Structure 1
Amino acid sequence: MQNPLISILTPFKNTNKFLYDCIESIQNQTYTNWELLIIDDSSTDNSYQIVHEFTKHDKRIKLFKNPGEGIIEALRFALKKSSGIYITRMDSDDIMTPNKLEALLNNLQKHGKKHLATGLVSYFSEDGINDGYRNYETWLNQLTRTGNNYSEIYKECVIPSPCWMVHKNDLFAADAFNPNDYPEDYDLAFRFYKQQLKVIPCNQVLHHWRDYSTRTSRTHEHYAQNYFLEIKLKYFLELDFDTSKQLVIWGAGFKGKTIAKLLIERQVDFIWICNNPKKIGKHIYGQELYSYTYLTELKQTQCIITVANKQSQKTIRSFFENKNKIATTDYFFFC
């Protein structure tokens, strides 16, 4: 099929300031055989009316109200209503580059099923982009250029939530948006990883990602760091944990303590190490903290690293490389 239908899943809630730019960027796509499943998630502004006006002039835009509550149920409902062979997601406050759908589709048609198409992203904001988001953009785009996204999946979300496309069968195989696990974009990235969908490298900026103070990822409790740690550990234990090896946590800051507490709750044994002399020999949650040099006495280990300092991470990586340990097999950076 030369011109397959693409279904675009787009929840929205109180984004009346941005909907015109978003929808017009979709209408301006070089690839025109698409349908927009756009779901109102209980907006209290005039967002619904704005989208409704668009539907009068463009039958490809299909407007619904969310029968449930929240972004995941909106996405699930949109997927249920979709008719396309290929599925992508769009955020109602962002902007597509004109060739986005065409570029993603071409890559998927070239490589076939069991592949994931994505593209480079560019943040923009009326107030300027802070260093955190700019660093994330740089890091994410470096991974996407090589298609090596999964190599750092335990750090942060390695697939940009509004800039991917897959064959519908692959999305169903991943059991996307089910159950209600937040953050939903990070959960979906792990599901793609679990299904071993290969990321297709891309060198083009295909999505403009808007940042502003009331953006959901900034304000909603489900996007807090403790949820990130829970979802990381959940998938690590399911997908990468080798029970024949001794599990080790490196780091005793907030993230290290959170991971330790979660492992204790799950009754998973571990050894806890750090390189902070003030903490070595102390007990936290009944667990003694050892010096990182204790690793040299252990033969078969897997290490979760929760040290956030970038220079310390380089030192830790060198430590493992000198011992011929393999990243994402023997050690995993969780930050």
Structure 2
Amino acid sequence: MGPRVSVLLPLRNAAATLDECITSIQSQSLQDFELLAINDGSSDQTLAILERYADRDQRLRILSNPGKGLVDALNYGLAQAGSPLIARIDGDDRMHTERLSRQLAFLQQNPNVTLVASQARIFPEEQLQAGFREYIRWQNRCLSAAEIAHNIYIESPFPHPSVTFRRTPIIQIGGYRQGPFPEDYDLWLRLHQAGHRMEKLPHKLLDWRESPGRVSRTDPRCSREAFDSLRARYLAKEPRLLERRHDLVVWGAGRKTRKRCRYLLDYGFKVNAWIDIDPRKIGNRIDNAPVVDPEWLNQKKRPFVLVYVNNHGARELIGEQLSSFGYRVEKDFLMVG
């Protein structure tokens, strides 16, 4: 009989933080796990540190990535895992002592859930910038399956190292994919469109390290353009949007909004009207469609609204206004990052 959970830890040059990470895993209240450490060509002391721990803990299996890069390492770890449940962690992060026990208990009690994440605490606090602080606030509030589905096209709703998921469904939809996009957000979007239920525990079970060299800040696969392009690819296949593609309206007529929206329009979608509150824009035309104020939406025949406004606070106010007009989230409008 195999372990109850396989902890997937891909590593490249993580020596500076690896002791903290492994110690947090070994300190779990649930001790029936295996730790798959996939070394992805490290040139520092990562391998030596792993060997030191493996000599004392038989649950730690050191694997060498047969491919190259994070996606290959993750897929190799999935293939080698001895448990049907996979918990992700990165070498610069830390687990709360109850992380594995709480997430496994939740999956056991909710067999219809494919993936469960947790809230996150960012450290060190002094390095947290305002924009990222707001993103974490938004992410930590996005908890239920319904909230995740409502918000999936805004941003990635989970920190990757906070998730625990069922291995078989992930493999069935193709595992992690290579491409010019963030591999985790691509996986969440595929799970969403395949109808899988995803939830988040209202507990901060991950200490998520912030640093200037974090992959999401330095890798072009995590650029603004990469997210916009990936999001548009899945929006273009979104059933709710396809059903209403002939009465499509976009909230936001600014230059940056139009640039982000262009990725979707390149799939053949057409905007019938643009919504904006700036009186200098109202009355103009963009791509032969009028720019109108929000009151224009208060009509009997409701169009489908894509809200491309990027400010978190403004999105909430727009959602309230649309609801006051009788629009229903997902049915009549979607928020887009």
Q: TM-score, normalised by structure 1?
A: 0.89
Q: Which residue of 2 aligns with 1:32?
A: 31
CA contact (8 A) 1:123 1:133 kept: no
1:47 & 1:262 partners in 2: Cα distance? 40
Aligned residue type for 1:290: V
1:22 & 1:310 partners in 2: Cα distance? 32
User: Which moved further from structure 2: 23-32 or 246-255?
Assistant: 246-255
Segments of 5+ residues of structure 1 without an aligned counterpart are none
2:60 & 2:230 partners in 1: Cα distance? 34
Q: Which residue of 2 aligns with 1:262?
A: 263
- Matching of residue 241 in structure 1 with residue 235 in structure 2: no
2:122 & 2:166 partners in 1: Cα distance? 27
1:249 & 1:56 partners in 2: Cα distance? 58
1:260 & 1:101 partners in 2: Cα distance? 39
Which of 305, 313, 323 does residue 307 from structure 2 map onto?
Answer: 305
CA contact (8 A) 2:13 2:44 kept: yes
1:185 & 1:161 partners in 2: Cα distance? 6
Aligned residue type for 1:236: L
- Matching of residue 122 in structure 1 with residue 121 in structure 2: yes
1:270 & 1:319 partners in 2: Cα distance? 20
CA contact (8 A) 1:114 1:196 kept: no
In the TM superposition, 1:125-204 aligns within 5 A as 125=124, 127-144=126-143, 148-180=147-179, 182-200=181-199, 202-204=201-203
Q: Which residue of 1 aligns with 2:323?
A: 321
TM-aligned CA deviation for residue 75 of structure 1: 0.8
User: Which moved further from structure 2: 200-209 or 25-34?
Assistant: 200-209
TM-aligned CA deviation for residue 90 of structure 1: 0.7
- 1:180-224 Cα distance to aligned partner (Å, 9 max, x none): 362112112212322333334523221111111111111111111
SS at match of 2:149: helix
Aligned residue type for 2:67: G
1:29 & 1:202 partners in 2: Cα distance? 17
- 1:88-107 Cα distance to aligned partner (Å, 9 max, x none): 21111000111111111111
- 1:31-64 Cα distance to aligned partner (Å, 9 max, x none): 1221222222232322222222222222222222
User: Which moved further from structure 2: 162-171 or 250-259?
Assistant: 250-259
2:25 & 2:311 partners in 1: Cα distance? 40
Segments of 5+ residues of structure 2 without an aligned counterpart are none
Q: TM-score, normalised by structure 2?
A: 0.89
- 1:145-175 Cα distance to aligned partner (Å, 9 max, x none): 7873222111111122111112222222333
Aligned residue type for 2:25: I
Aligned residue type for 2:243: T
Q: Which residue of 2 aligns with 1:106?
A: 105
Taking only aligned residues, the RMSD between alpha carbons, in angstroms, comes to 2.5
2:103 & 2:96 partners in 1: Cα distance? 11
SS at match of 2:127: coil
Aligned residue type for 2:49: I
Alpha carbons of structure 1 residues 298 and 262: separation in structure 2 relative to 1, 3 Å: farther
Alpha carbons of structure 1 residues 58 and 205: separation in structure 2 relative to 1, 3 Å: same
Aligned length: 333
Q: Which residue of 2 aligns with 1:252?
A: 253
Aligned residue type for 1:271: N
Aligned residue type for 1:231: L
Alpha carbons of structure 1 residues 310 and 64: separation in structure 2 relative to 1, 3 Å: closer
2:200 & 2:263 partners in 1: Cα distance? 35
TM-aligned CA deviation for residue 9 of structure 1: 1.4
Alpha carbons of structure 1 residues 298 and 243: separation in structure 2 relative to 1, 3 Å: farther
TM-aligned CA deviation for residue 229 of structure 1: 1.4
CA contact (8 A) 1:217 1:223 kept: yes
Alpha carbons of structure 1 residues 256 and 287: separation in structure 2 relative to 1, 3 Å: farther
CA contact (8 A) 1:253 1:307 kept: no
SS at match of 1:241: helix
2:228 & 2:319 partners in 1: Cα distance? 21
1:59 & 1:254 partners in 2: Cα distance? 56
User: Which moved further from structure 2: 5-14 or 123-132?
Assistant: 123-132
TM-aligned CA deviation for residue 281 of structure 1: 4.8
Q: Which residue of 2 aligns with 1:20?
A: 19
TM-aligned CA deviation for residue 122 of structure 1: 0.8
Q: Which residue of 1 aligns with 2:279?
A: 277
1:303 & 1:58 partners in 2: Cα distance? 54
1:237 & 1:254 partners in 2: Cα distance? 21
Alpha carbons of structure 1 residues 4 and 67: separation in structure 2 relative to 1, 3 Å: closer
